[in-house]
Amino acid sequence: MTARFVAEALAKNLKTPVMVDNRAGAGGLIGTDAVAKAPGDGYTLLFAGVPHLTTRWFANGPVTFDPVKDFAPVAKVSSSALGIVVKADSPYKTLGDLVAAMKRKPGEITYSSGGAGSTSHLCSVMLNDLTNTRAKHIPYKGNGPAVTDVIAGQVDFTCQGAPSVVPMIKAGKLRGLAVTSAGRWGEIPDVPTSAQAGVAGYQVASWIGALAPVATPAPIVQRLSDELVRIAQSPEFKAFCARQSMYVDIADRRQFLADLPKEDAHWKRIAQLSKES
């Protein structure tokens, strides 16, 4: 949805058609590979997030691109924190309850994710790392079924982005144990931050940004970066993010270029932890 909003605004600003081509499959690797191999003419962009950096560590076959070296960062526009949730009548009433259960029963408590290498997967890996616990990963093909099976009681907990869990918490189908942001969320103010719930340093954000093939000339990347930053600064985009339980999080070309290798190193470490657990 973010890509479509930005595409419409970009088309209006540049006075040229901008199409969104959803390339599903392999956790986003198919679409990412296609953009990596596209001409560097400024006409092809990849809208990506944390899985752009992580799913390659869980691919069944060879990955032929480098998510940092093969792309020119254009701009980051938004982010969304995640929430740790259980079913509404779960015996785990707090994050402390869940952590205590994982300590008592190492590897027996289950958590779902939208797939191996997804933000929802590695968010839970981080929780285990910070609390010195172990839980059993149940990967799904998408966040929707991962949440559905927590509601149904088939899985103990999941760590998901706000758009996936806020409506279910408000509907009384899920209980929020904590959010992985510095502050509480306005829509669910009774749910504490992870630090308030007793797990210091547990902050996770799933960002969205645009990247171009690495061969794209710098002046073109700069022009696109300027346009995306302008769109992200607009009141309309801020309102859109609020409706999606996201927040505006802007990094222009230079900042995104500096941040991406650090992000890659961070998530590589978390991915390695998941393989060791």
Q: Mean pLDDT of all residues in the chain?
A: 93
Q: Give the pLDDT of residue 20.
A: 92
Which CATH number goes with the domain that contains 102? 3.40.190.10
**How many distinct structural domains can be found in the chain?**
2
Note the pLDDT tens digit of each residue in 183-211. Answer: 899 889 999 999 999 999 999 988 999 99
Which CATH number goes with the domain that contains 45? 3.40.190.150
* pLDDT interval class at 276 (50, 70, 90): low
**In a shared domain, residues 107 and 171:** yes
Q: Could you tell me what percentage of the chain is helix, strand and coil, using 3-state DSSP and rounding each to the nearest 5?
A: 45, 20, 35
Share of the chain above pLDDT 70, in %: 98
Q: Whole-prediction pTM value?
A: 0.85
* Residue 189 falls inside a structural domain: no
- H/E segment holding residue 87: strand 71-87
* Residue 197 falls inside a structural domain: no
Q: Give the pLDDT of residue 275.
A: 72
Residue pair 239/14 in contact by the 8 Å Cβ criterion: no
Q: Give the pLDDT of residue 112.
A: 98
**In a shared domain, residues 98 and 135:** yes
Question: Residue 39 is part of which domain span?
Answer: 2-79+206-276
Q: Give the pLDDT of residue 25.
A: 67
**In a shared domain, residues 134 and 51:** no
Note the pLDDT tens digit of each residue in 125-176. Answer: 999 999 999 999 999 989 999 999 999 999 999 999 988 999 999 999 999 9
